Structure 1
């Protein structure tokens, strides 16, 4: 990783890609001025963690301001490293590094809505865990849709989702009704055999199309030829694919030429000052830092006490980004063994963390807190191993 950049650059620049490769940083002039102004008003030495928390509090207050854009700039590197790992894990996927990055950053609101600094999370670490989940789930779902033929997709889709897709495509109500009726007739008369499955279904034969046309006429009293019905159904598949997985566009760079006003003008002065003072005087920050330092010691000790093979599996999974199948192949063991040992290892670490929470923080463990502790542990594992694994990689200097 490159040397630390200035605070202004961290909160005002965005990654740029050339095809599937990092090619530099783009600076947003409004964000740069906004960040420079805030730093000048602060009389204390502050860190990037401080400003991440500050802009998050501004975003929480729902002020119409630049807070969200500052936070998106701040999370660029977390999203980048997470995307690298995801792209390597899905090596056979048509979605590459730049695609993974845009998939994750386009859903950055999930990070902001789920983040809770009062539970000891660092925004960057929390974002890495959420970005990873977003990319993994999206690619798996997209793969399922991508490998379906048009006819297989029509068999899998629900009527509710079909109607939502057609409405999102801007079709008038009578057209939606006609298409849905045609789809229902299609499902009645085009049933795959057990050998065919439901993915790569071939185009219905002429006899089936005629049966569909006859059923449509019986239900609506309107006669439509098989060719028209086929066109309608293919339009349905296009609408469904567009609705489920719209093309991803960058939300990072502001509209070209839109540099006429200062973002800071949109934040009331009294609100700026109160938020800044609130963050500066927060004693919980020191307490949280001490707790996180102890948490790091607890987990580091727990990992060191694991069996060598469990440590190696963690290293391969988090540092190398290998799949369970790849780990099993490298260690010459069964994949289910890798899965079982990963699960048991996480359980041991979670138990150590839960005991520490009870003894040091005097917190009663319930299901909600256990879920939060599990998230903290996953953040720590990803952060600890990602930093070690990417230590010699270079994105490039901002500015």
Structure 2
């Protein structure tokens, strides 16, 4: 694009600018270190060079503000999704940002400074190219803002993949089919089109960053994609047995079937579901329907067809053909390019959490939640903290609390946790009503759905002070290494050079991570009387996410290191 090359990557760059440049130009490559899978951060030099010229040294804006602005910019080039601001004329961008600031001032205020800076520099070639031109004219997804977002979403991809793999894949039979790298690759593929991935992100929402939203969305989409990939390997009869009518109808409509054919196919599928009862003969496989079962399906179809205005009866030899045609349509539907759109549509964010957060701002519901939580029996508090906070499995919690809970089976624990949640929500709503806040029935239902998501943050915060106290035991350079590695995503080589270290940075980070795990185990043993020595994988994941998102690390010496 004709921009001068920098002679030194960070010469004359403030700490804030360097952080922004690195955040939006760095990609992740998983690597092995002492048996652990750790991310290696690699800089894309094209994006890095462009950002050096775009980001002003004097501008004070958060990473989330830059991400939001890049999302708004990218939406103007993306015509694959129907967005509120997609295609918005440039002259209206100022007014749109003003509206967002009025709706959520703290979250969106930084976008105004970024936009005003670009308006003031609109005669500069680098700014014009950024706002007008893709990096590669042959690549419709090559708009610079989209590529910046793809880089910004690399950490959410890694942590979503790691959390999903450790909690869902590793304990299951799928561990032989999907490695952590496989999960990360699937997640990364979704960020190639970041506007589509983030199409349901509401810029007007408070209390949620774009990165947090992306991580949660990626994990949900990752789970569904792997489910669908697994289902694709199922036999026709297993696929039909566990198919939903919603997906059946959508598949047939996508294939262009007439309404009469869809009605006929749906009826024979229902008859199949009612009559076909059999046992799995091997993994992912179910046997063919017997002749007797096919006969019963045909008889039931012919008995029921008249209310659906189906004139022709079905012959027995036609039933298998129809069922196989349904299965083919479903497989095509699941493998189509529009699958991500459907997954995101199925997982639009619930208004329940927004309602709860809104209540928190207007009613100090945080205090009410704490009071209600502390009003639960002690064993209930421990179980919920382990489930929502440390994200232990039912089997792990049962192993730790079987005698205190007085139960033997995992399904009993699941029911017990539901009862604890119901008690908690009832107590919260009673206290809200005491403060003269009316809760409508529909809001109550949404809060019930949202309580899980709220409890995740609340229960995690129970364990954070133990870890934060341990930070005080670390030396200054150890805190700084963790800060640069987890929160600034410095390359390991650069950290080693900054501290003149000969040992590898990943091994030092793992050693520090293990010290936090040991501290947490000891604190929980002392405070709750629970031994977590068999839950190392959960604790590793918990500590990493805390270091990345919540740890308050010493940053006082950053400028000295950078210089």
Is 1:12 the equivalent of 2:25?
A: yes
Partner of 1:341: 420
Aligned counterpart, 2:240 = 154
Rounded to whole Å, the distance in 2 between the matches of 1:6 and 1:148 is 47
Report the alpha carbon displacement of residue 92 of structure 1 after superposing the two structures with TM: 0.7
With over 3 angstroms needed to count, the CA separation of the structure-2 counterparts of 1:110 and 1:196, relative to structure 1, is same
Query: Once the 2 structures are TM-superposed, how far is the Cα of residue 331 of structure 1 from its aligned partner?
Result: 0.9
Task: Classify 1:188/1:120 alpha carbon distance in 2 versus 1 (closer, same or farther; 3 Å).
Answer: closer
Match of residue 55, structure 1, among 54, 70, 80: 70
Per-residue deviation, 1:68: 4.1
Does residue 126 in structure 1 map to residue 205 in structure 2? no
Structure possessing the higher relative contact order (Cα contacts under 8 Å, 6 or more residues apart)? 1
Matches within 5 A, 1:60-71: 61-62=85-86, 65-71=143-149
Compute the displacement of 1:151 (Å).
Answer: 1.7
Contact 1:12 1:31 in 2 (8 A): yes
Query: What is the aligned counterpart of 2:333 among 239, 243, 246?
Result: 243
Taking the aligned partners of 2:397 and 2:423, their CA distance within structure 1 comes to 16
| Structure 2 CA distance for aligned equivalents of residues 386 and 146 of structure 1 | 41
TM-score by length of 1: 0.58
Offset from partner CA, 1:32-77 (integer Å, 9 cap, x none): 344333312x623333233234334444743685444433432332
After TM superposition, give the deviation of residue 337 of structure 1 in Å.
2.0
From 26, 38, 51, the counterpart of 1:35: 51
Question: 1: CA distance between counterparts of 2:401 and 2:338?
Answer: 38
Give the whole-Å Cα distance in 2 for the aligned partners of 1:17 and 1:326.
28
Q: Quick one: distance in 1 between partners of 2:376 and 2:273?
A: 55
Q: Does 1:45 align with 2:60?
A: yes
In the other structure, the counterpart of 2:153 is: 75
- Secondary structure of the residue aligned to 1:6 is helix
Change (3 A) 1:26 1:231: farther
Match of 1:165 among 227, 247, 251: 251
Task: Give 5+ residue unaligned stretches, structure 1.
Answer: 251-287
Counterparts of 2:293 and 2:419 in 1: how far apart (Å)?
48
- 1:192 is matched with 275
Change (3 A) 1:146 1:385: farther
Q: Is the 8 A contact 1:125 1:380 kept in 2?
A: no
Partner residue in 2 for 1:204: 289
Question: Which residue of the partner structure matches residue 481 of structure 2?
Answer: none
| Aligned equivalents of 1:120, 1:132: Cα separation in 2 | 20
1:203, distance to aligned residue in structure 2 (A): 0.8
Query: How many residues are aligned here?
Result: 341
Distance apart, 1:323 and its partner CA: 2.6
Report if the CA contact (8 A) 1:318-1:385 is conserved.
no
Name whichever of 236-245 and 300-309 sits farther off. Answer: 300-309
Q: 1:162 to 1:314 in 2, by over 3 A?
A: closer
| Deviation (angstroms), 1:316 | 2.0
Distance in 2 of aligned mates of 1:306 and 1:87: 32
Q: Would you say the 8 A contact 1:80–1:101 is kept in 2?
A: yes
Question: How far did 1:391 drift?
Answer: 6.4
5+ residue gaps, structure 2: 1-15, 76-83, 88-131, 133-142, 303-310, 341-357, 408-412, 468-538, 549-563
Distance in 1 of aligned mates of 2:384 and 2:24: 32
Q: 1:70/1:381 Cα in 2 relative to 1: closer, same or farther (>3 Å)?
A: farther
Alignment of 1:294-313 (within 5 A): 308-313=378-383
**TM-aligned CA distance change 1:126 to 1:159, over 3 Å:** closer
1:315 partnered with 2:385:
yes
Is residue 26–residue 42 contact of structure 2 (8 Å, CA) maintained in 1?
Answer: yes
Aligned match of 2:167: 89
C-alpha change, 1:231 and 1:96, in structure 2 (3 Å) is: farther
Please give the alpha-carbon distance, in whole angstroms, between the structure 1 residues aligned to 2:211 and 2:337: 26
* Residues 1:79 and 1:212: Cα distance change in structure 2 (over 3 Å): same
Q: State yes or no: 1:380 paired with 2:432.
A: no
Q: SS of 1:24's equivalent?
A: strand
- Per-residue CA shift, 1:344-393, capped at 9, x if unaligned? 446667888x69xx89xxx9866559759858835734874797654654
Distance between the aligned counterparts of 2:276 and 2:369, measured in 1?
Answer: 52
Q: Distance in 1 between matches of 2:425 and 2:179?
A: 29
CA distance in 1, matches of 2:50, 2:372: 43
